[in-house]
Amino acid sequence: MKLTSLNRSLALLVFASVVAAACAAPPPAAQQPAQQPAQQQEAAQQPAEQLPPGWKAGIPKNPPDRKGKKLVIRDVPKLIGIGYFAATTKGMEEAARELGNIDFKTDAPTEAKIEKQIEFIDNFITQGVDVILFAANDPVAIAPVLKKALDQGIIVVGYDADAQEDARQFFVNQATFEAIGQALIEDMVSQVGPDAEVAIVTSSLTAPNQNRWIEEMKKYAAAKYPNLKFVVTLPSEEDQQLAFKATQDIMKTYPNVKGVFGLSSVAFPGAADAVKQAGKCGQIAVVGLSTPNQMRPFVKEGCVKSVILWNPIDLGYAAVYAARAIADGELKPGATSLKAGRLGELKVNGSEILLGPPFIFNKDNIDNFDF
């Protein structure tokens, strides 16, 4: 009796694993979701004439005429409850108020989890909203649900963190590498002049973003300030202590250095702290990328004059203007600019809307931001 029941349970276990194993086998071609290729074909055929060559971004399928009509916009950031996305929401609400005729709401998971974010977007699709704004927790994982939204004629616009290009129509890019590189150099030159020695504290020597910024910085400096001399680039490996030590080494080894770039939210405060503790505030300029909260004490003391990043309020503001312009047929594939209220004309590059030059946080405005 005991034996048989054990056997039976084992048999069930085996059965379960067989089912599981069967799942592992590749599905026969006939079982493929049959409508998918058809959909793609249709999508490709329909707007083909209007699409500029090389257009890779998505297009909503058979969208209703939304010109001038009331828009239901739902914003799904990576998460809610943090200062950064509270700021983007603030900008979106501002734009929705200005434009009028918009039902706007932000709702997202309270943790930056892609599977929860997918669920929120999925529910908004069912709700039949007009526009979904998103900041992706994962560019690939979010793509299927965004493509589903496009298939149902919903306008899909990203900001802050992009998805695969074909899963959304437009993306509001908060800062290009080029613009950040230029802003860093301009800010440094305004503090130390065009003929100084400068050093860089980066995150790790292989970090892709940092390397692109350094590349753009050097390119811009070579063209405009040929006498600006980059003496050394040291890594800090996302460790504030290492950044601190690297900056100390720089000050020791290169006594003529007039300025230090801190290229991550860790390298920047580390560098600023080293300069401060060496008593060289005002003699050595520290310029870099970080968030207002991280740099507030240094800015208040005057050891750091400015923090370069972008303004998340403007970012959200531009995203809602982009959505309205798409609905009204003004922002189409091939467009080169977007009228965005108080931000003026924003440049559109392919399917990316450029927010423009980075935002500079200083003593006067840093308290307006909490992220």
Partner 1 sequence: MTTETRAATSAQPSRLLSALRTQEGVLFLVLVVIVIVLSLLSDRFLTVNNLLNQTRLFTETALLALPMTLIIISGGIDLSVGSMLAWSAVMLGFSWQLLGLPLPLAVVVCLLTGAIGGAINGALIAYVRVPPLIATLATLAIYRGFSFGISQARSARGFPEEFAFWGQGQVGPFPTQFLILVVLIVAMHLLLARTGFGRWVYAIGNNELAARYSGIPVERVKFTLYTLSGLMAGLAAFIFTSRVTTTRADAATGLELDVIAAVVLGGTSIFGGSGSIIGTMLGLVIITLLRNGLLLTGVKGDATFMVIGLVLIAAVLINNLVRRR
Please give the residue ranges that form the binding site for partner 1 (CB under 8 A).
1-2, 4-6, 8-9, 12-13, 15-17, 19-21, 23-27, 29, 31-33, 36, 80, 105, 107-111, 113-115, 118-120, 122-124, 126-128, 138, 140-141, 143-144
- Distance between CA atoms of 340 and 319, rounded to whole angstroms? 9
Structure tokens at 303: 């050891």
Which residue lies nearer to partner 1 by CB, 110 or 241?
110
- Name the minimum Å distance from CB 43 to partner 1: 16
Can you say whether residue 54 is alpha, beta or left, with left for phi > 0 and alpha for psi between -120 and 50 degrees? left
Cα separation, 132 vs 75, whole angstroms? 6
Q: Give min distance, CB of 87 to partner 1, in A.
A: 18
Helix and strand numbers (H, E) in the chain are 11, 14
To partner 1, the closest distance from the beta carbon of 40 in angstroms equals 11
Q: Which is nearer to partner 1, 128 or 302 (CB)?
A: 128
Task: Provide, rounded to whole angstroms, the least separation between the CB of residue 233 and partner 1.
Answer: 24
Report the residue number, 45 or 127, with the smaller CB distance to partner 1: 127
Bridge partners of residue 122, in order along the sequence: none
Q: Least CB distance from residue 14 to partner 1, whole Å?
A: 11
Measured between alpha carbons, how far is residue 293 from residues 200, 297, 369 in Å?
22, 8, 8
Nearer to partner 1, 52 or 144 (CB): 144
Instruction: Please state the length of the chain.
Output: 371
Burial (Cβ within 10 Å: 0-12, 13-18, ≥19) of residue 349: exposed
Minimum CB distance to partner 1 smaller for 80 or for 157 = 80
Q: What angle do CA 101, 173, 288 make, to 5 degrees?
A: 125
CB of 318 to partner 1, least distance (A): 24
Residue whose CB is less far from partner 1, 17 or 190: 17
Nearest-approach distance from CB 147 to partner 1, in angstroms: 10
137 vs 233 by CB, closer to partner 1: 137
Q: Which amino acid is at 185?
A: I
Q: Tokens at residue 272, please?
A: 């600023």
The secondary element (H helix, E strand) that includes residue 40 is: helix 35-45
Selection from 282, 296, 287 nearest residue 268 by Cα: 287
